[in-house]
Structure 1
């Protein structure tokens, strides 16, 4: 429809040139006749006919201008509105695709780059599918209509007028190649700026604590200067189009006057036809100028779409082979698992095996970097194992529907993340049908309830970005409440009590004892106090199991666990 409206609009824009030709020829033919009857009554009749004809021509031009404007309005309502719908769909498609990608993708790509591609790059594509296509269609239809009408008037003059066009086409192709290259560089630099600012604002407390405001500003200015220089280089190239087209339009006008004058002298053209041709030349001038802008937008959009496609072509390797949707009991079997992080090549687990029956609990202890959190990621199937196999309820984890499996796991990550929303909504995140009683009970079990009711807004208190309103311990407890509120079949606590004091830890652990009954629980920690709740304890070191058994068994073995236990108890006694 937009293409049709563009054609009709330009048709009403081209026809007035013919009317002007008829009007000028009428003036030339009538003026001599008017003066020939000077002093005769017939002269007034000739004048009346002449005035009426000119008025009629004027009204026709006015009507055509109104029709052109109306259809131009329809052009914008179709093509520009369509581009906004495409922008909406493309952003949703990219965002949805981002959600499907595995953690390994996010480990190797920074947030600023992701944001730039879903905002700046999508906007560049929208400028192509909307305004650029609109001006491109306008150029094509105007060119076809104008050339058609010019050929119908005088073929010889038409070819002279079109003489500069091949040179213009070659120049546009040459300049576009430069624009394409510079556009890619600009978009890549814009991603760097987005990443820099995102990290600076997210880490503003650290930045201020180390008094790095000035160095940060200098570093940002350096990146901004690079972006400015590259943008100015592109502007310099863009600026070649307008003067180039203006010169060619002026050259065409000179050719029309000279060659057209020769044709008039030869009796093959009328002065009105020359005026018509000059109007046609200027009708082509704006589309030719817009050609430069359109070509620039196409090249920028091509560079942006290429960047978007890089991520859209990324496919998740976390897929279900049989897509089994099943309510799980909670049996976990990890058999001879080795895992190497795909982005860094670090081998986090080596020949790791573990068996936990439904309703049992296991504690995994170890130093930093021993592979504890990797186990949590593998059980939630954030990654797939490099070697070995993980089974849940005797089903290979790769056969289970990923989302359904995760919906039955309550996961408290080591790195707590809270959303800029109310405490209530953070607790019931992922469980929209949760009742007020369930929310309150989850907060009580996580020893958070008494803190929340002291806030002026209570559970409706809106948290700052990443939960900055709360203390470290409160954030961890809110994260625990969020996990247990959904009543999962498998509960994974990944070192989630590191920011709370011993008294609060004991309170939470006592509450968790009742919650863990009937649920499979995996407690990952570096504190032995957290491990005492578990039916089984596994000691990890550098991805290997060095000890496993119950608390009493490991104490009797007098090994690494006993050594860690004695050290931590001694520290607690000193602090007490």
Structure 2
């Protein structure tokens, strides 16, 4: 239960519903427990009234509930025939059943509805926590596993906060009511009836231990299965292009067989509960009839036929709650295993923390990297080594270098997707770690290498982050990104759905829509991370010409492996293995004959081959 203590805050939040629900459970079971007493009375009444053979007078009035005593007193005062009294009692038993059913309905309306509220809150909590976790977390965990924990595991926990709680309270209340009246009726017979319960308790404890372990294994296997499916759907074009459908199917089938095997093992263990419950209930019924019947025949106690009938009804009333012990315990064990998996992530603290109340200074665009070193936490690769650079407000800077030289890392550090291992990054005179995180990111327009588009309209994708932007502003951003005319050519224009990850658009169109999204923010700092790789040369030239007008008074950082000859930069920074290898203008770097000149020569040779 230590893992499930994490949901106690929700029970406290919905304590009114919980308390009212428990009240309805108690009232429902109270009306239920009256029926055996009324039944016992009418059997005794018929025997007494008709003077049936073998009947012995005995006093059981003290065993009845106060309400039943009043009812008995009223019925015995009626001047009706035995048949009439039986009819009245029969109607009363029906009314008690209806009242019990009515309060059972109210019980479910409060407890089960409460669990749905808790499920809603918990999913929001998990999703909100996911959004706070840093990029390193997402590099270490798969999307399928994250989805499985928020959907399947939260659903398993809901079974604890709703049905399990309801059945536990129902079980406890029914047992308490039954035992109270059974002991009042006959202590010795009650002890005989309860004799099989220690065996029941031992069975439950033994099986629960196994269920808890296998539940954890089952949920972990389900996460692997979900991850496998998610990756297959996301990479379906790659799978088809390499004709690997059969191989992926076999891989998924192996995971499915593993899940089926574990689920079957768990089902077999859980299957022990119900025959065990039936066995113990059957033993209790046999003990009741045998011990009660012998005592009645021998006349050695105050037990009558009505007592035996009443006890049998009590045992039948206990049948579902006791048989539900196994089911409820299984739900709790599964919920505990799922909550443990949820806690693993909920207790994970993000490395990048949003400090409430952090300052929100005006950002001019001046950037300083001072002795920055960065090592990726998952791989141990050092991406930047003693990196120091000053970018003045309004400057246009290009970062050039081979793959893996640390260019993209600079953008991620500036956005605080990661924090430097050592050194500092300043915007103006303020360390970015001291700036309000949301404020920092709102003032940086960023186009990543793999521009992600949501399964929404083109307009909503461009307006992402600026939801209130007018259609005119959206169109203006698209025009600057040279994608406006193509969008207008779509069947529904800006209202065209782009599909998951923008699958209906070409690579160049997705990149330009991503650029338009960043331009719409109109932030003082703009970062383009290799954002024109899928664009043809003519379109690239048009985009750069329009960007040259757009960023006149902005700080612009272009991260690229290509060299833009027709775009003037204030400085070009050449990176090599995380260090600044060269820095200068295009002309000075070409004349120097270093790494930049080598990259430029290779690009020219490639362009000549492409043109021929």
Q: 2:372, 2:385 within 8 Å by CA — same for their partners in 1?
A: yes
- Counterpart CA distance in 1 for 2:382 and 2:233 is 33
**Root-mean-square deviation (Å):** 1.5
Partners of 2:542 and 2:301 lie apart in 1 by: 107
* CA-CA distance at 1:521 after TM superposition: 0.7
Query: What residue is the counterpart of 1:504 in the other structure?
Result: 539
- Superposed displacement of residue 449, structure 1: 0.9
Q: Distance in 2 between matches of 1:56 and 1:375?
A: 86
CA distance in 1 between partners of 2:38 and 2:601 (Å): 102
CA drift of 1:560 comes to: 1.4
Give 1:227 shift.
0.5
Q: Between 344-353 and 302-311, report the one with greater CA deviation.
A: 344-353
For residues 350-499 of structure 1, what are the structure 2 equivalents within 5 Å?
A: 350-499=385-534
Matched, 1:294 2:313: no
Counterpart CA distance in 2 for 1:489 and 1:390 is 17
Would you say the 8 A contact 1:531–1:537 is kept in 2?
Answer: no
In structure 1, distance between residues paired with 2:513 and 2:497: 13
Match of 1:40 in 2: none
After TM superposition, give the deviation of residue 10 of structure 1 in Å: 0.5
Of residues 510, 513, 516 in structure 1, which corresponds to 2:551? 516
Name the structure 2 match of 1:307.
Answer: 341
Q: Distance in 2 between matches of 1:297 and 1:346?
A: 44
Following the alignment from structure 1 to structure 2, what is the Cα–Cα distance between the partners of residues 101 and 241?
Answer: 41
After superposition, give the CA deviation of every residue in 1:453-493 in whole Å (9 maximum; x if it has no partner). 11111111110110011111111111101101110110000
Q: What's the CA shift string for 1:260-287, capped at 9, x where partnerless? A: 1233222411110100001111111111
Structure 1 SS opposite 2:51: helix
Q: What's the secondary structure of 2:564's corresponding residue?
A: helix
CA contact (8 A) 2:544 2:567 kept: no
Match of 1:210 in 2: 242
Deviations 1:17-56 (A, max 9, x none): 001101111111112289xxxxxxxxxxx99421221112
Distance 2:289 2:568 in 1: 98
Distance 1:267 1:328 in 2: 93
Alignment equivalent of 2:165, drawn from 133, 157, 164: 133
Matches of 1:67 and 1:21, distance apart in 2: 20
Match in the other structure for 1:76: 108
Q: What is residue 123 of structure 2 aligned with on the other side?
A: 91
TM-score (norm 2): 0.91
Does residue 285 (structure 1) correspond to residue 319 (structure 2)? The answer is yes
Task: Give the whole-Å Cα distance in 2 for the aligned partners of 1:347 and 1:531.
Answer: 33
In 2, the alpha carbon distance for the partners of 1:270 and 1:49 equals: 23
Cα 1:243–1:311, aligned 2, differ >3 Å: closer, same or farther? same
C-alpha distance in 1 between matches for 2:310 and 2:424: 81
CA distance in 2, matches of 1:405, 1:425: 23
Aligned residue pairs total 566
Cα separation, 2, equivalents of 1:521 and 1:247: 77
> 1-side partners of 2:301 and 2:136: how far apart?
78
Aligned to 1:38: none
- In 2, distance between residues paired with 1:278 and 1:527? 87
Identify the match of residue 18 of structure 1 among 18, 30, 37. Answer: 37
- The CA deviation at 1:327 is 2.6
**From 161, 166, 174, the counterpart of 2:206:** 174
Task: Tell me which of 269, 278, 302 is aligned to 1:268.
Answer: 302
Measured in 2, the distance between the counterparts of 1:255 and 1:126 equals 39
Q: State the 4+ residue runs in structure 1 displaced beyond 6 angstroms.
A: none
Question: Shift of the alpha carbon at 1:533?
Answer: 3.0
Deviates more, 1:72-81 or 1:452-461: 452-461
Higher mean alpha-carbon deviation, 25-34 vs 179-188, is at 25-34
Q: Deviations over 1:485-525 (max 9, x none)?
A: 11011000000011111111111111110111110111000
- Contact 1:103 1:383 survives alignment (8 Å): yes
What secondary structure does 1:339 align onto? Answer: strand
1:190 aligns with 2:222: yes
Contact 1:319–1:398 (8 Å) recurs in 2:
no
Output the CA distance in 2 between the equivalents of 1:560 and 1:389. Answer: 27
Aligned pairs (5 A) from 1:214-229: 214-229=246-261
Provide the C-alpha distance between the structure 1 equivalents of 2:110 and 2:400, rounded to a whole number of angstroms.
63
Evaluate the alpha carbon distance shift between residue 270 and residue 331 of structure 1 in structure 2; reply closer, same or farther with a 3 A threshold: same
1:559 aligns with 2:594: yes
Q: State the match for 2:573 in structure 1.
A: 538
Aligned counterpart, 2:51: 32
After TM superposition, the structure 1 = structure 2 runs for residues 335-354 of structure 1, keeping only pairs within 5 Å, are: 335-354=370-389
State whether residues 493 and 522 of structure 1, in contact with CA within 8 Å, keep that contact through their aligned partners in structure 2.
yes
Match of 2:87 among 39, 49, 55: 55
What's the offset of the Cα at 1:168?
0.3
Q: Which of 119, 123, 126 is the equivalent residue of 2:155? A: 123
**In 1: Cα distance, 2:495 partner to 2:525 partner:** 29
